[in-house]
């Protein structure tokens, strides 16, 4: 029988409530991820999308290494953890990044964000069906509100997607895979720091994505434009270098329903930043979805009733 390893000093403590530090991390990554959708759209306009994403991952590695050095986080990955880290990288990074960047290439940045952030709906359903999660009524209310908000935002798009069904289905598959990966993170037995996990997951995804680029996009390779380099730098430093590690910390320390529904403000930022930065048109469904997403977030973050005194 395998002996249980002692708790690692860098492991996050699990909690059912968001503390001030977690709220600050959540606000930061929500802002970074939300603004990134139109930035990604600019980055892949006229440039191979998989190559763009591979550049982001490779340049993010020095940023993660620097943060690890400053914080004194070890790089060592025990051999018995290699298999688990590989599958976490596949479900949380590689499949998500491949499918979602192809969706951004073929759809508007705002609608790609909406489709990608159907993830909380998949997460709640997967948790209830396969991971033994018990959702309260207010959590189901949040799932329903998020689903209705996504449906409203897609209302107009559904009539415009006849030529892009693969991109639509790919974005939904990316969301479902990310949701599954989030549950794997929550239930992992790894006793390594979240930054260590982020480093090795990013390295694995970068290597495998580079192979895909060489096979699928090598005839399209060209020197990136200044706009593409700006988008690459934003993704390398802020999205993968910092926000991705923060997400891993939150996903490992919060219940899946809290960590997933609490980032539902990201597609709203994506929709409106795309409208402001790229001139993408907004409709009444976009405004109605803001209220529904607020309900979804509130259903998770609102404190539960205090226990009755004896």
Rounded distance, CA 61 to CA 203, Å? 7
- What are the residue boundaries of the structural domains of the chain, listed by start? 23-301
User: To the nearest whole number, what is the mean pLDDT of the chain?
Assistant: 81
Burial zone of 151 (CB within 10 Å; 0-12 exposed, 13-18 middle, 19+ buried):
middle
> What per-residue confidence (pLDDT) applies to 211?
96
The pLDDT of residue 94 is above 80: yes
Mean pLDDT for 213-224 is 92
> What per-residue confidence (pLDDT) applies to 43?
93
Whole-model pTM: value is: 0.81
Token output for 155 = 């209302």
Closest by Cα among 310, 300, 307, 308 to 23:
300
């Amino acid at each position: 029988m395998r002996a249980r390893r002692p708790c690692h000093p860098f492991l996050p403590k699990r909690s059912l409530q968001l503390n001030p530090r977690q709220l600050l991390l959540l606000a930061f990554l929500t802002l970074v991820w939300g603004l990134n959708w139109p930035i990604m759209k600019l980055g892949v306009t006229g440039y191979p999308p998989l190559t763009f994403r591979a550049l982001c991952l490779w340049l993010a590695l020095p940023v993660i290494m620097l943060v690890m050095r400053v914080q004194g986080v070890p790089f060592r990955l025990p051999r018995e953890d290699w298999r688990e880290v590989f599958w976490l990288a596949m479900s949380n990074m590689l499949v998500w990044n491949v499918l979602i960047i192809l969706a951004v290439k073929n759809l508007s940045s705002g609608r790609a964000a909406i489709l990608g952030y159907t993830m909380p709906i998949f997460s709640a359903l997967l948790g209830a069906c396969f991971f033994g999660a018990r959702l309260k009524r207010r959590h189901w209310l949040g799932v329903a509100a998020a689903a209705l908000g996504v449906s409203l935002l897609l209302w107009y798009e559904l009539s415009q997607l006849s030529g892009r069904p693969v991109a639509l289905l790919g974005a939904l598959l990316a969301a479902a895979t990310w949701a599954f990966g989030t549950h794997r993170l929550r239930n992992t037995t790894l006793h390594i720091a979240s930054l260590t996990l982020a480093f090795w997951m990013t390295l694995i995804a970068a290597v495998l994505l580079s192979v895909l680029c060489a096979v699928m996009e090598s005839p399209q390779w060209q020197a990136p434009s200044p706009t593409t380099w700006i988008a690459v730098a934003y993704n390398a430093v802020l999205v993968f270098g910092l926000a991705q590690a923060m997400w891993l910390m939150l996903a490992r320390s919060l219940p899946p329903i809290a960590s997933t529904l609490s980032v539902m403000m990201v597609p709203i930022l994506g929709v409106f930043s795309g409208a402001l930065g790229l001139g993408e048109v907004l409709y009444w469904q976009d405004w109605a979805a803001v209220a529904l997403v607020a309900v979804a977030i509130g259903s998770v973050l609102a404190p539960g009733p205090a226990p009755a005194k004896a």
